[in-house]
Amino acid sequence: MRILLVHQYFLEKEDAGGSRFNEMTKMWAARGHQITVLAGMIHANASRKYPRYKGRFFFKDQYDENITVLRCHVSESYNVNFLGRLWGYFSFVFSGLLGYFFKVKGPFDMVLVTSPPLFVGVIGLVISKLKKIPLVFEIRDLWPESAIDTGVLTNKTLIRLAFWFENLMYRQASLINVLTPAFEQTLIEKKKVPHSKIVMIPNATDFSLSDHLFPIIDRDVMRESLDWKDHFVIVYVGAHGVANHLEQLLEAADRLKDTKALFVLIGDGMRKPFLKQKALEMGLNNVRFIDPVNKEKVFEYIIVADAGCSALKKVDTFKTIYSNKTFDYMGCKVPILMAIDGISRKLVEEAGAGLYVEPENSAEMEKAVRWMIDHPAEVRKMGESGYRYARENTDRTVLANRYIAHLKRIAGVS
């Protein structure tokens, strides 16, 4: 099958962490499917382009024989402010369409668009209509609701436009994939999307890397090299943005100065400079910042940590999402400090994989960390329990096969 994937944030080969579609496309390609990706030149958590993109409008990268990635121009005003980010979205829409018509070789059996940002759907919609191929729309986050709830989107005209376009995408899509049961419920009950259009292939756990690393990592040696040996290390991996509200981790760290707790924040985002300055002003010697590293190194950090933290702002929309990194923590046998309510909380509690703390409640986070420090045996059991649950329910290979089966059905490919 020939798949055109529109994913503004498709990760670079050397990017930190893991991406749902970077991993899924590898699995699909290994089964002989051909994937072409229209992607942006600036990732969601990056502040600038890689030097190799300077002065380039397009950049073609061959990931392997069956995965071709066309990087398309994104304005470098992306992480300046909201207007800059909005222009970053639309600059990719324009460059993505130009890239498709002038740089991409078809034909394709379908076009698959993953959102947010919502407006990348313009690319998929235009291609679907002109080439008469099915449009598959994936929802990783309910947008514009999340942007409105976090205060990022306030302009009433833009809000009306966003809701109108969201509804248009739901009507035009042949298939809609949602990442959580709460998204499915919202689409059916509030958005009036027919149930027959919706499938759920959630985020998944990639065991290939963690299972490879478990036998070769000397935990004590690595922790000593990182100066973690005498600490209880809570690692946070991911975006340092408005939605994550990582100030709550700094405030908890301030309350835990008398303990061996150490917060390690790995990643990037527009709020990172502010957070580093705030930590400095607060005199927090128990908080460390690490710049983005490749996926294997991320997993090494997680495996030798004592707990993994997932955190977002306290807004209702975030009760409907799963945090990507939660699945990585579970796959690495690390217990979770879950500062996200709703279905993410339910996941951790059902799996017995960690502790829930109210988002933006530093006192509650302090209490949970103190309990973890004082109960090492129970904490280890949480990590093992989360790993078992993930093995049984969220294996990425199983979900990748299920996803491609739905795509074949929509495309009429046997």
Own/partner contacts of 181-188, CB < 8 Å, gap of 24 or more, are 181/343, 182/319, 182/320, 182/321, 182/342, 182/343, 183/139, 183/142, 183/320, 183/321, 186/142, 186/320, 187/139
CB atoms within 10 A of CB 55: 7
pLDDT at res. 81: 61
Strands 34-40 and 67-72: parallel
Whether 304 and 219 have beta carbons less than 8 Å apart is answered as: yes
pLDDT at res. 18: 53
pLDDT at res. 122: 96
pLDDT at res. 205: 86
pLDDT at res. 16: 46
pLDDT at res. 206: 81
pLDDT at res. 15: 62
SS3 annotation, the chain:
CEEEEECCCCCCCCCECCCHHHHHHHHHHHCCCEEEEEEECCCCCCCCCCHHHCCCCEEEEEEECCEEEEEECCCCCCCCCHHHHHHHHHHHHHHHHHHHHHHCCCCCCEEEEEECCHHHHHHHHHHHHHHCCCEEEEECCCCCHHHHHCCCCCCHHHHHHHHHHHHHHHHHCCEEEECCHHHHHHHHHCCCCCHHHEEECCCCECHHHHHHHCCCCCHHHHHHHCCCCCCEEEEEECCCCCCCCCHHHHHHHHHCCCCCEEEEEECCCCCHHHHHHHHHHCCCCCEEEECCCEHHHHHHHHHHCCEEEEECCCCHHHHHCCCHHHHHHHHCCCCEEEECCCHHHHHHHHHCCEEECCCCCHHHHHHHHHHHHHCHHHHHHHHHHHHHHHHHHCEHHHHHHHHHHHHHHHHCCC
As a whole number of angstroms, the distance between CA 149 and CA 319 comes to 12
Report pTM: 0.79
Residues lower than pLDDT 70 in the chain:
14-18, 44-48, 77-85
pLDDT at res. 317: 86
pLDDT at res. 84: 63
- What domains sit in the chain, N to C, each tagged with a CATH number? 2-204+395-411 (3.40.50.2000), 207-393 (3.40.50.2000)
